[in-house]
Amino acid sequence: MPNRKNNNNSSMKQLSLKISAIAFLALAASCGKSGSGGQLVGAPTVLPYKAPVPLGMVYVPSGVLKMGASDQDIRGKNDALIRTAQITGFYMDATEISNAEYRQFTNYVRDSIAHTLLGDFKDNADGTQRVDMSKRINWKDQDLQDQLSTLFIPADQSGWGRKEFDNSKLQYHYEVFNYEDAVRNPSQPRTNFIEKNTVGIYPDTAVWVKQFMYSYNEPIALQYNWFPAFNKYPVVGVNWKQANAFCAWRTQTWKSERDRTRQYFEGQFTLPNEMQWEWAARGSRNEAPYPWGGPYIVNKKGCYLANFKPQRGNYAADGGLYTVPVDKYYPNDYGLYNMAGNVAEWTSSSYFGNAYSTVADINPEIEYKMRENDPQWMKRKVVRGGSWRDVAFYLQVSTRDYEYADTSKAYIGFRCIYQEIAPALTNRRTLR
């Protein structure tokens, strides 16, 4: 009687050898060749990717924001209704933009204007030209100053008896593609949605004098923006348009460097919108009145937790007469400094009293596209966080306030956020 078990084993071994041989031949045939082999493997990645983490920023994770005034804030309830919203994560500057950081921007614009006047250009691969910023500008060189005489105020006109640079010449031009409008009007050429902006970007250093009558502030006005001792202090005297110009320059600067090193780049630096700012300021402490929680504005040792106006005007009681360095006081649970006090901060949002009742539940935002001839009340932009000159009420993370976009103050600064998902893709209510 034949041994069926042995026959079966022999057949299985032969079948296994045939399968192995076929697999080996298929592998040998595919060696050194690209392709999917007929399988669903996904499109290949053509760009090297490295997760972009901008220097000085911390990650604010996605989550659920219970936005609006706390239960104890009776006044604010009419302006900041309680709402629940989903917020997509983003990177945010750990500190307010400092004088030294903003000066990097103004120095870049100054040098680029000089290179343009001197005719320093490079050819691009597509035949166009760009300003060659690789050459160093020695601004102390007298011959160079003579070549760039149009950028200087003569000694007999400066008021100081010496020639000085005319900061009004620092005009920054940038262009933004309005993706949202292009999507809503697909029949029009995309070039119709390129917004061109030219902004004078030097801070208004005179705010220290103009905004405080009967007060001797000339020394701080003359030194605050440039003196090295103030390098880490928050930049002030910057209006909303200048803050946006800084964000555009920062985007282009970082994108150019990543393009040069062939690294992936997507997204942009912008001002946070009002709800993003509140989500970041809360530091995961939903419904708490302050970034550190609360309900007190002093710690167990009696030390103030922010730079504001305590004790009915004893400005120095919290450790700062005016502003303080951007990394002073303890950060919140996300690692963000001075989300309450020091300087109030511009947001990208337009100010409307009923904004919280109209925005979406996912990535809420409300934006109004200003025109130059709009009445002043339509140019209101939300500022948040309170400042060194404000009472404690304005330190609360739910307190809403506004300022006009074309004005600058000695108590308003800003910080940036960075998102790989551009704000144009978030769920916004646009009023134009």
CATH number of domain containing 351: 3.90.1580.10
301 in a structural domain: yes
* Count: domains in the chain: 1
173 in a structural domain: no
Quick one: which of 265, 391, 383, 286 has its CA closest to 332? 286
- Dihedrals phi, psi of 129, to nearest 5 degrees: -120, 155
Q: What is the band of 26 on the pLDDT scale with cuts at 50, 70, 90?
A: very low
**Per-residue pLDDT for 430 more than 50?**
no
336 in a structural domain: yes
Query: pTM (2 decimals)?
Result: 0.85
The pLDDT value given to residue 75: 54
232 in a structural domain: no
SS (H, E, C) the chain: CCCHHHHHHHHHHHHHHHHHHHHHHHHHHHCCCCCCCCCCCCCCCCCCCCCCCCCCEEEECCEEEEECCCCCCCCHHHCCCCEEEEECCEEEECCCCEHHHHHHHHHHHHHHHHHHHHCCEEECCCCCEEECCCCCCCCCCHHHHHHCHHHEECHHHHCCCCCEECHHHCEEEEEEECHHHHHHCCCCCHHHHEEEEEEECCCCCCHHHHCCCCCCCHHHHHHCCCCHHHCCCECCCCCHHHHHHHHHHHHHHHHHHHHHCCCCCCCEEECCCHHHHHHHHHCCCCCCCECCECCCCECCCCCECCCCCCCCCCHHHHCCCCCCCCCCCCCCCCCCCCCCCCCEEEEEEECCCCHHHCCCCECCCEECCCCCCCCHHHHEEEEECCCCCCCHHHHCCCCCEEEECCCCCCCEECCCEEECCCHHHCCCEECC
pLDDT tens by residue, 28-84: 444 545 567 788 888 776 666 666 788 999 999 999 998 876 655 555 555 667 788
- Domain range for 87 is 61-97+266-430
> How confident is the model over 72-98, as a mean pLDDT?
80
pLDDT tens by residue, 314-365: 999 999 999 999 999 999 999 999 999 999 999 999 998 878 878 888 998 8
403 in a structural domain: yes
> How confident is the model over 406-431, as a mean pLDDT?
73
Least confident of 119-133, 148-162, 172-186: 119-133
402 in a structural domain: yes
The number of beta carbons lying within 10 Å of the beta carbon of residue 197 is 13
372 in a structural domain: yes
> How confident is the model over 16-31, as a mean pLDDT?
48
122 in a structural domain: no
Least confident of 7-21, 226-240, 266-280, 294-308: 7-21
Tokens 């360095």 belong to residue: 325
CA distance 394 to 403: 14
**Per-residue pLDDT for 295 more than 80?**
yes
